[in-house]
A and B are shown apart, each in its own frame.
Chain A
Amino acid sequence: MQASTQAPSPVIRSVVSFLLFVHLFSLGISWLLWRQSSPVHRALRRFPGFYLQVLALDVCPDSGMLLDTQQGLINNPRLAPRAYRALWHLTHADALDVDHFLVFRTSGGQQRQWPGPGVWPDLRRLRYRMLAWEMARLAPIEDADSVLPAAVARGILLQHGWTRGELECRRLLLRSPQETRSNDPQLHDPYHPDRWETVYRAQVWLKNGQVLLRRTDTPEQRSGPVRSAPAAQAPQAAPRPEAPESSDQSLPVSPSE
């Protein structure tokens, strides 16, 4: 492609300047005004919605800047996940800033975990972790017919030819520096069974081609601290109307996939 040293004509320059202004304005709106809710802000956000969505430039609209209203968001479980989808930050030491995993146990005792040690390269591992992360993010507001867990469970059951089992999303709590320095193997081990926390767990089974799902984790299990260090404050999940019986089996899993 042969480029040109010629400056653009005034007409072309004007048109390009206008398009640049529209583009930068759209980006600025999506970055800065995401959480504002005045009519003017809503009208401004409506304008670039289509354009930014098509180009995937709005993937992280809910930046961590908005966490100043986090307490209010947490109190409203339907809004809480929106505060966490932000991926600008490296960490906030929050409940979601840890490694998440999916585990599936069959009634016959088989167990699979995603991602397991055999999953490589890094992007594949990351995708499984992000799926588990997303399930954890939505866990406080998932109903009994949770869409994402149901879809994943259905896929697992059909792909492996199983008829029933238990799907679990679990997170690995982090060690504090003091624990890491400790000579106590229980405190020092980053994968110690006590560090695994159940975020979401449900019995799933296939019946007449349909997947049925019954959530079995308790509200208490959904609000644990991120880390073992003192003074950790994890977001509190909204209470659920019913609390099915718990069958806590937070044992370490043997990754197999």
Chain B
Amino acid sequence: MWKATSEYLNFLGQQTAQGWNRFWFTPCSPLRLAVLRVLVGVVSLYYVATFWPDLVRWFGPQGWLVAPQGESTLAAPDPVGQWLQVRFPIGEQLWGFDDAPTGALPPLYRLSYLTYLRTPWELHTAQALGVLVLVLFALGWKVRWTAPAALVVVLSYVHRAPMLNAQLEPVLAMLMFYLALSPCGAAWSLDWWFKRRRAKHASALQVLPSWKATVPMRLIQVHLTGWYALTLLAQLSGGTSGPVWWTGEAMWWVVARPDSTLLSADFLARHPLLIDLWTYFVVVFQGAFVVLIWVRPFRPLMLAGAVVYWLGVILSTGLVSYGLLMLAALVVFVPVEQMRTRALPEEAPTFG
């Protein structure tokens, strides 16, 4: 009995370790990450550039969200810090500071270089440099350095005014972080193009599979799957108005927001069955994606469903940037063979 148990546990351990190593360390092509870098770079550039018209209004010396300068008063309030205090009013509950005095702020690590900039000149200079870094990142110049720098730029805007954040920011930060860990400049980049011009032998241009590409790509896949799962659970848990995702009316309340939606609510109001079908499609698809995206035969079906789903989200919510970013992130699930045959020019080197 003991021997059989021991053998089973030994077998289980070996299989688990092999499965873990196979999942995380089997070399794969960095091509998907390179394509994702371009797409995420464009979205991050758009995200930061759209701060420009309101930069001084938000963060300037007379801005709406002025940076803390000494003790916070109504004359010089610290809306970011105090907003966080209201958002996380009890440090003990969130971070476990049992000995914290009542009302004490838990330590916050939302670092942003924008916090230290005051004048419009400083803000505009930092904005220009940030945009430049993101352009270089999207183009793929010195990606080993521009990728972490681009992450710092994006995080600085995310952390500077967290009350302005919506759905886009956490996904963007997540993708930028994983891309900064990856060899995403190995293809579709200026680095690769310069190397191609200098190379005398075609073999020098080959971008080989690497476990360094596998780890961040798997992280993105796992994180995205978790995102879908949490979205599903959040919606099915219901709100104060009742379980609208169970009753089939949820998509109506998404489309009915006149200042957000890109669709005509009048048309949908005349077709309640369409609202029901759309609502249930969202629920079923989110649940199916979490499981079936990992099953190879179902993967194309899930990707096609995701395109329909996210286009629907864009049209119904008006969250164009968020929807496009989530569509771009699906690249990590596209089989690399498909990308090689359809996306690369003929003279491009072969990828492993």
Interface residues of A (CB under 8 A from B): 1-8, 13, 16-17, 20, 23-24, 27, 31, 34, 37, 39, 42-43, 45-46, 49-50, 53-57, 59-61, 63-68, 70, 74, 78-79, 81-82, 85-95, 97-99, 101, 115, 121-127, 129-131, 134, 138, 141, 145, 147-148, 150-152, 154-156, 158-159, 172, 174-175, 177-178, 180-181, 190-191, 209-213, 226-227, 231-235
- Given contacts A3-B209, A85-B87, A155-B66, are A92 and B24 in contact (CB under 8 A)? no
Cβ of A45 and Cβ of B96 under 8 Å apart? yes
Cβ of A90 and Cβ of B313 under 8 Å apart? yes
Q: Which 5 A-B pairs have the closest CB atoms?
A: A92-B239, A64-B234, A3-B210, A42-B96, A155-B64
Residue of A7, A61, A87, A233 near B167 (CB, 8 A) is A87
Shortest Cβ distance from A16 into B: residue: B215
Shortest Cβ distance from B316 into A: residue: A90
Residues of chain B within 8 A (CB-CB) of A152 are 64-65, 79
Q: Does B77 contact A (CB under 8 A)?
A: yes
Residues of chain A within 8 A (CB-CB) of B316 are 90
Cβ of B83 and Cβ of A122 under 8 Å apart? no
Interface residues of B (CB under 8 A from A): 20-21, 24-25, 27, 30, 46-47, 50, 53-54, 57, 62-66, 72-75, 77-79, 82-83, 86-90, 92-98, 106-111, 143-144, 155, 158-159, 162-170, 173-174, 177, 183, 185-186, 191, 207-213, 215, 219, 222-223, 226-227, 230-231, 233-235, 237-242, 244, 249-254, 256-260, 265-266, 268-270, 272, 275, 282, 313, 316-321, 352
A132 CA / B341 CA spacing, docked (Å): 48
Cβ of A95 and Cβ of B173 under 8 Å apart? no
Cβ of A95 and Cβ of B240 under 8 Å apart? yes
Cβ of B50 and Cβ of A16 under 8 Å apart? no
Residues of chain B within 8 A (CB-CB) of A93 are 239, 241-242, 244, 249-250, 253
Total A-B Cβ pairs within 8 A: 305
Cβ of B265 and Cβ of A158 under 8 Å apart? no
Residues of chain A within 8 A (CB-CB) of B95 are 42, 45-46, 49
Residues of chain B within 8 A (CB-CB) of A211 are 74-75
Residues of chain B within 8 A (CB-CB) of A13 are 21, 25
Cβ of A172 and Cβ of B259 under 8 Å apart? yes
Residues of chain A within 8 A (CB-CB) of B108 are 53
Cβ of A78 and Cβ of B89 under 8 Å apart? yes
Residue of A82, A155, A212 near B62 (CB, 8 A) is A155
Additional A-B contacts beyond A3-B209, A13-B25, A175-B269 (11; CB < 8 A): A5-B210, A42-B96, A55-B177, A67-B239, A88-B230, A150-B74, A154-B77, A155-B65, A174-B253, A175-B265, A211-B75
6 A-B pairs with C-beta separation under 8 A = A17-B20, A39-B96, A124-B50, A134-B83, A147-B77, A155-B62
Cβ of B173 and Cβ of A59 under 8 Å apart? yes
Cβ of B173 and Cβ of A180 under 8 Å apart? no
Shortest Cβ distance from B215 into A: residue: A16
Residues of chain A within 8 A (CB-CB) of B260 are 99, 129
- Minimum C-beta distance from A186 to chain B (A): 15
A76 CA / B219 CA spacing, docked (Å): 38
A60 CA / B226 CA spacing, docked (Å): 13
Residue of B53, B77, B78, B231 near A124 (CB, 8 A) is B53
A5 CA / B235 CA spacing, docked (Å): 43
Cβ of B207 and Cβ of A180 under 8 Å apart? no
A31 CA / B63 CA spacing, docked (Å): 34
- Minimum C-beta distance from A6 to chain B (A): 8
A148 CA / B78 CA spacing, docked (Å): 9
Residues of chain B within 8 A (CB-CB) of A1 are 30, 143-144, 183, 185-186, 191
Residues of chain A within 8 A (CB-CB) of B93 are 37, 42
Cβ of B25 and Cβ of A233 under 8 Å apart? no
Residues of chain B within 8 A (CB-CB) of A63 are 230, 233-234
A233 CA / B347 CA spacing, docked (Å): 62
Cβ of B20 and Cβ of A59 under 8 Å apart? no
- Given contacts A1-B191, A138-B86, A151-B64, are A27 and B226 in contact (CB under 8 A)? yes
- Given contacts A59-B158, A181-B269, are A232 and B170 in contact (CB under 8 A)? no
Shortest Cβ distance from B271 into A: residue: A177
Cβ of A88 and Cβ of B231 under 8 Å apart? yes
- Minimum C-beta distance from B36 to chain A (A): 15
Cβ of A56 and Cβ of B158 under 8 Å apart? yes
Residues of chain B within 8 A (CB-CB) of A57 are 170, 173-174, 177
- Minimum C-beta distance from A27 to chain B (A): 7
Residue of B24, B75, B251, B317 near A17 (CB, 8 A) is B24
Cβ of B62 and Cβ of A67 under 8 Å apart? no
A152 CA / B159 CA spacing, docked (Å): 18
